Structure 1
Amino acid sequence: MLIALWAQDKQGLIGENGTLPWHLPNDLKFFKDQTINNTIIMGRKTFEGMNRRPLPQRTTIVLTSDPAYQAEGVLVMHNREEILAYTKEQDHPVFLTGGAGVFDTMIEDCDQLYRTVIDETFTGDVFFPEIDWDKWALTKTIPGVVDDRNKYRHQFEFYQKK
């Protein structure tokens, strides 16, 4: 099962200079809870924005068109077909985690979407690609808790492909 997992602001912003434009511990916990002991797929720029460190207790796949690209502790794949073949062999969810190019390339192949929507507008340079929402059914929404550490209203949305 292939699941896209991302956080965005009200305008679809997902990044700024290779990082998140906000600090929202609830969303980081949500990300960890969903992906722990599973596989995550990210593009080279996203991986390098994390200082080329794979996240613990996850298999990390870096998707890049560079045939010579190597990084310690990750699997490197070069195209959509490799990702789909890998996903079919797994008995656990595989999560697309960014960036925009990976989402754009693979979103049509996803079975589910997990989206955190932050009810704010931030400044950044990367937006989630256009998606045909008519192909998706919202199955669950969980309001996020706002407190002294999580200052922005947010919600977690779960979608199933129709």
Structure 2
Amino acid sequence: MKIRVGFGFDVHQLKDQHPFVVGGVTLEHHKGAFGHSDADVLLHAICDALLGAANLRDIGFHFKNTDDRWKGISSLILLKETIKLLAEKGWSVGNIDAMLCLEAPKINPHIPAMQENIAAAIGISTEDISIKATTNEQMGFVGREEGVVAYAVCLIEKG
């Protein structure tokens, strides 16, 4: 059996009165992430980790922010498309470990729903998806609530 690991990172600007979608869950908050798709920073970091592990470039290569097909689209669809790309090369997902960095809102109550969404999109157990969150201790653009950051690592398997 062959295994690989991948690392993903994503960042999005936060804007007032904009939807805030994280892990396929719409959070109640006065600010939300802004981007070409639904700007789901967590799913974008996971997609990048998976694509990188499979040596398939990155999310921007496959889902360009200049392509109207992806405008406003749910990032759960991008994750499903990423899984199809991996499957074409014979890869399956072993596990995902992700970290969100934002000041507000609190993420912990939403983690089970995020795990369910991600597990359904990938076809793995929620037990194989770890999501954590931290603040930036009110420092920098994250601390000022100007942006949100996500990091993800994954393990993929073949054979």
Bucket of the pairwise TM-score, normalised by the shorter protein: 0.3 to 0.5
**Normalising by the residue count of structure 2, what TM-score does the alignment of the two structures yield?**
0.33
**Normalising by the residue count of structure 1, what TM-score does the alignment of the two structures yield?**
0.32
